[in-house]
Structure 1
Amino acid sequence: MKVSAGLNKTAAHSILIALYAFSTLSVHAAENDMIWRYAMHPGDNLIHFSRAHLINPNDWIKLQRLNHIKDPYRIPIGFILQVPLTLVKQVPASAQAVQVSGQVFLQLGAQAPNPSTLVPLRLGQALGPGATLITKDNSKVTLQFADGTLTSLASNAKLVLDTMSLYSGGAMVDTKLRLQQGQAETVANPKHIKGNAMQIITPSAVAAVRGTKFRVDADDTHTLQATLAGQVSLQAADNEVIVNAGFGSQAEKGKPPMPPTMLLSAVDTTSLNSQFTHLPVVFDMPDQAAAVSWQGKVATDVTINQLTAEFTSAKPQLVFEDIPDGHYYLSVHARDAYGIAGYESVHAFTLNAQPFAPALVSPSAGERTGDARPMFKWKTVANAQAYQLDIAKDVDFKHIIEQRRIENTEYQAVQSLPPATYYWRVASIEMQADGRDDQGPFDQVAQFSVRPIPSKPDLHQFWIDVADNRVNIHTLPPADGLSYQFNLDNDANQQKDVWVKRGVETDYQFLLKEYGKQTLYIRHADSDGVVSAATVYEFYAYPE
């Protein structure tokens, strides 16, 4: 059975992946992948060609028979000569590490005293057949092969360079790699040289590619494949699907591959924040149909080679807890329900969080103070030699009324603040080697208000008597905007607030619940519910 998506299958841009019944998911090149197709040039003939390119020059006779050539000395210019690779001269090729980021190691071979010994891979280092590469967290390496093919190995991966061969002095290249774990993305045969062959073998797959760009995620039981350019032939359990650019598929061991599904589009990053002043750095992903998880990588370069952090999330939010200040690029892919990653988006952002801003102590957020010269306090920040304090009338700090550089963690306002709402913030300052201040960002902003606290009532304005178990309170009206609050304690029984009344503005009376010594607390309260200190009136009540 064959299912196709997109363009028709072409031999020059194809991957063939086959799943066998036992333990491997395999990709095989077509039979003609073992044939070198050589276009005859002016002055070429079969005899000269065989002397230059074949292991045994006398095998020109085999080429004559295979290509149905009548005269070995007269062959038309441009004639495509089909040459079996088994006849062509070959020498071992090498790969070169053209990009190394993070912890990338070369594992020494079995002939070493300790086969598990790891040595750091150097940029530009040449690697021959049998070399084994291992990447750790937040690491990446890109290898370039003889035909210009580029393979990038992601974090926590292991790759073995199995065989690499140059045929006839480099006229054709054959490369075989073993990806034992992790992810690899390949741009194969970018010059589209006919006859070049490449295989990437995983514990569950073998990908034979020519002139295409693709991504493969594999484990022991599943292969996820996304075609970014060219075409992929994915085979499993005697079934095949053709996966063209813009589509992906999944092959599970022992089951036919699923029909191709369209890759998710690139995440729309236009709404993502590009300036951060505190940690963690959080990106809220926009709604995207069919996306069920997101994978993000942070790098210092736009090509996402110099990795700093990675994060994968099942909810639409990427969180990076601890990265240093700097300019970065976020690479993000959305994944569908099969786990197939869609197209990449890259978003630039800047982090300026250090030195970290201190935690604000007082006035706390929303606090009201009656002190027109409030005391400002904040927490100590390690390595901070000073702090920048701003006090403003607006939350945007466009109208700053006081600004101070302070070398401790508290400050009392010099001038009295008129009754109003205010905002304050503090940034940390570190001294640089040249004596300059390195001021970090402001983080918290706390709002507070300065409003006089009501004065406590004058007891001479009250006349209180007790009769028939009833307390009668006679008073003058409170000042505008104020009311009275009464709290009664029964001291004899050690009972608090046995009677409470708020919002009283005129004479009032209430029944006693207990006898003995009573303490009445009288307070002023304003419209915000802020109360004054209490005026205390004590009396005794006895049964009549």
Structure 2
Amino acid sequence: MILRPSLYALAAVLALASGPALCAPRAAARPAKPAAAPADPPVRYVVRRGDTLFDLGRAYLRKANDYRHVQRANQISRPRAMPVGKTLTIQADLLKTQPIDARLSAFSGKVEIETDGRRVPAEKGMTLREGQRVITGPGAFATFEMEDASRVTLPSNTAMRVVRLRNVVLTNAPQRVFRLDEGRSAIQATPDPNPNARFEVRTPVSISAVRGTEFRVAATEGRAQTEVLKGAVGVGPGEAPPLGPPVPAGFGVTVAPGGTGVSAPVALLPAPTLNAADQNQTDRTVHFAVHPQAGAAGYRLLLSRDAGFVDLFAEATQAEAAADFGPLEDGVYFVRVTALDPAGLEGAPADYSFDRDLDVLEAGAPPVAEASGKHRNFLFRWSAAGGGVRSFRFQLFAGARPAAPIIDQPGLVEPQLTLTDLPPGLYSWRVSATRVKNGVVTEKVAPLQSLTIGR
């Protein structure tokens, strides 16, 4: 039977989100010099009938002869006949461990893996090892996953070091410890019933140790903030216990510069609501509008190729309740929307799918008369973009407020039409497009354009 101090009742975690009003990502901070990791807590083992220190040394210690350290530390006079039920305290660094598999499951943009100060470009499926750092540049994202489906996602301008990624043979307890030097992180830790299991996220001023929950951690300029989405997280200043009372789901805390203490829990803002029309994106650029929320100082929008938000590829953080992400290939994507309070705490997320199906119809420049013999030709042009097969309909009206069209030409294949000898006067015109794509017929009408023809 194995006993060990309950590995920090509920974890401590602190994260600092970047402030609310930032359209462009902050420049990546200079990599922090790695700090010495706090010593791992000792393991306690209860002696069973037939145990000897020699057998324990051969089975569970890195070096069999290290049983002598255990003997001295526990004042054992008879290593071959230990009292049954006696509790042994064993230094963690004496114990055999096995590496835990963690792989880079998705990334986009400039992501690098740093090993002993040397950086190499990330590759999907790369195995991560203790001591390595994952570094995301501006506009870059990375997600790595462990054997038990626990997951860590890092957005832009973030650096996280793998401190521990091993399983202790004696207790069969996974040890997963990460240090967030700078930036933000989102963690989904799969619950583990083993009381000796550890899952910690440390920052320069805080520690987070969980037994299984969903939370976010961020750190910048000496501050740290944590937002708890599921379960509960114990929070403490510094990089080792003691931890404060568990922070429940729906609340966040802050650790000030210097790690002097943990703030009182603050209720996170509720999930914002996205404009329903934005779930169908047909314009040249992908843009979203969020219904303004009371108490929000800013909004954050994340784009992903999957509903689990593993494969992230774009982010916007700004004060306005809207964001434009530029052009995007056709397909089905997902957007996650959160609100930021004045202290920078990020609220509950709302996830939406959206269809990207470029379908643009735009009028060109006003036509100019070109002489051809005794006639004047007026070339009308327009443009269309997106997949499918289109036919166009051109309409010309007399005056600024159209009634019945004086010219109505449907069935045009090319985005242009030439009209001859239009009399001087005020006209208005428009074009519509009928598109057939995957058996679906849609129609789009361009705005009305005005045109004055002189003598």
Who is 2:167 aligned against?
Answer: 166
Of the three residues 303, 308, 312, the one matched with 1:307 is 312
Who is 1:251 aligned against?
Answer: 255
Who is 1:144 aligned against?
Answer: 145
Which SS does the other structure have where 2:92 is aligned?
helix
Deviation at 1:348, TM superposition (A): 0.9
5 Å matches for 1:259-338? Answer: 259-269=264-274, 271-338=276-343
Distance 1:208 1:383 in 2: 49
Who is 2:358 aligned against?
Answer: 353
Who is 2:209 aligned against?
Answer: 208
1:446 is the counterpart of 2:452: no
Who is 1:506 aligned against?
Answer: none
Residues 29-78 of structure 1, C-alpha deviations (whole Å, 9 max, x = no match): 9x9x82446699xx975436665324545677679879xxxx95866xxx
Who is 1:97 aligned against?
Answer: 103
Does the 8 Å CA contact 2:207/2:235 hold for their aligned counterparts?
no
Which SS does the other structure have where 1:322 is aligned?
coil
Does the 8 Å CA contact 1:36/1:194 hold for their aligned counterparts?
no
Of the three residues 371, 377, 387, the one matched with 2:380 is 377
Of the three residues 109, 116, 119, the one matched with 2:116 is 109
Cα distance change of structure 1 residues 315 and 82 upon mapping to structure 2, 3 Å threshold: farther
Cα distance change of structure 1 residues 101 and 439 upon mapping to structure 2, 3 Å threshold: farther
Deviation at 1:86, TM superposition (A): 3.1
Cα distance change of structure 1 residues 62 and 168 upon mapping to structure 2, 3 Å threshold: farther
Residues 468-515 of structure 1, C-alpha deviations (whole Å, 9 max, x = no match): xxxxxxxxxxxxxxxxxxxxxxxxxxxxxxxxxxxxxxxxxxxxxxxx
1:390 is the counterpart of 2:393: yes
Residues 333-388 of structure 1, C-alpha deviations (whole Å, 9 max, x = no match): 1111211111111111112225x42325569xxxxxxxxxx978234569999963
Residues 291-336 of structure 1, C-alpha deviations (whole Å, 9 max, x = no match): 2211001122111222332111202222222222221111111111
Which SS does the other structure have where 1:34 is aligned?
coil
Of the three residues 87, 92, 98, the one matched with 1:86 is 92
Which SS does the other structure have where 1:182 is aligned?
strand
1:13 is the counterpart of 2:25: no
Does the 8 Å CA contact 1:353/1:440 hold for their aligned counterparts?
no
Count matched residues. Answer: 393
- The one-letter code matched in structure 2 to 1:152 is T
Distance 1:144 1:380 in 2: 45
Does the 8 Å CA contact 2:104/2:128 hold for their aligned counterparts?
no
Deviation at 1:428, TM superposition (A): 9.8
Cα distance change of structure 1 residues 203 and 352 upon mapping to structure 2, 3 Å threshold: same
Deviation at 1:170, TM superposition (A): 7.4
Deviation at 1:438, TM superposition (A): 12
Does the 8 Å CA contact 2:432/2:444 hold for their aligned counterparts?
yes
Cα distance change of structure 1 residues 328 and 448 upon mapping to structure 2, 3 Å threshold: same
Does the 8 Å CA contact 1:427/1:439 hold for their aligned counterparts?
no
Deviation at 1:102, TM superposition (A): 0.8
Cα distance change of structure 1 residues 59 and 386 upon mapping to structure 2, 3 Å threshold: closer
Distance 1:64 1:239 in 2: 28
Deviation at 1:209, TM superposition (A): 3.4
- The one-letter code matched in structure 2 to 1:388 is S
- The one-letter code matched in structure 1 to 2:166 is S
Does the 8 Å CA contact 2:278/2:354 hold for their aligned counterparts?
yes
Cα distance change of structure 1 residues 92 and 247 upon mapping to structure 2, 3 Å threshold: same
- The one-letter code matched in structure 2 to 1:273 is D
Residues 431-464 of structure 1, C-alpha deviations (whole Å, 9 max, x = no match): x9xxx99999736232889xxxxxxxxxxxxxxx
Cα distance change of structure 1 residues 148 and 298 upon mapping to structure 2, 3 Å threshold: closer
- The one-letter code matched in structure 2 to 1:250 is T
Distance 1:265 1:200 in 2: 25
1:194 is the counterpart of 2:195: yes
- TM-score with structure 1 setting the length: 0.59
- The one-letter code matched in structure 1 to 2:204 is P
Cα distance change of structure 1 residues 148 and 196 upon mapping to structure 2, 3 Å threshold: farther
Distance 1:63 1:279 in 2: 70
Does the 8 Å CA contact 2:363/2:431 hold for their aligned counterparts?
no
Does the 8 Å CA contact 1:106/1:131 hold for their aligned counterparts?
yes
The runs of 5 or more residues in structure 1 that have no matched partner are 1-8, 364-373, 396-400, 414-420, 450-529, 534-544
Residues 141-177 of structure 1, C-alpha deviations (whole Å, 9 max, x = no match): 2223466542222222222223433322771232332
- The one-letter code matched in structure 2 to 1:378 is R
Does the 8 Å CA contact 1:199/1:209 hold for their aligned counterparts?
yes
Q: Comparing 384-393 with 247-256, which one deviates more in the overlay?
A: 384-393
Distance 2:221 2:106 in 1: 27
Does the 8 Å CA contact 1:102/1:136 hold for their aligned counterparts?
no
Deviation at 1:124, TM superposition (A): 2.2
Who is 1:425 aligned against?
Answer: 431
Cα distance change of structure 1 residues 74 and 162 upon mapping to structure 2, 3 Å threshold: closer
Which SS does the other structure have where 1:173 is aligned?
strand
Deviation at 1:229, TM superposition (A): 2.8
Who is 1:123 aligned against?
Answer: 124
Who is 2:374 aligned against?
Answer: none
